[in-house]
Structure 1
Amino acid sequence: MSSWQIVRIVAGTFILLSLALGIPGSPLFVSQWWLAFTAFVGANLLQSGFTKWCMMETILRKLGARPGC
Structure 2
Amino acid sequence: MRLNEWLRLIAGVFVLGAVLLGATVHPYYNYFAAFVAANLIQSSFSGWCPMMALLRRLGVQE
Partner deviation per Cα, 1:22-66 (whole Å, 9 max, x = no partner): 12xxxxx11001000000000000011111111111110111000
Matched residue, 1:59: 54
Does residue 45 of structure 1 match 2:40? yes
Could you say which structure has the higher helix fraction? 2
Query: TM-score, length-normalised on structure 1?
Result: 0.85
Using the aligned pairs only, state the percent identity. 42
Could you list the runs of 5+ residues in structure 2 that have no partner in the other structure? Answer: none
**More relative contact order, 1 or 2 (CA 8 Å, 6+ apart):** 2
Over aligned residue pairs, what C-alpha RMSD do you find? 0.7
Aligned length: 62
Query: TM-score, length-normalised on structure 2?
Result: 0.93
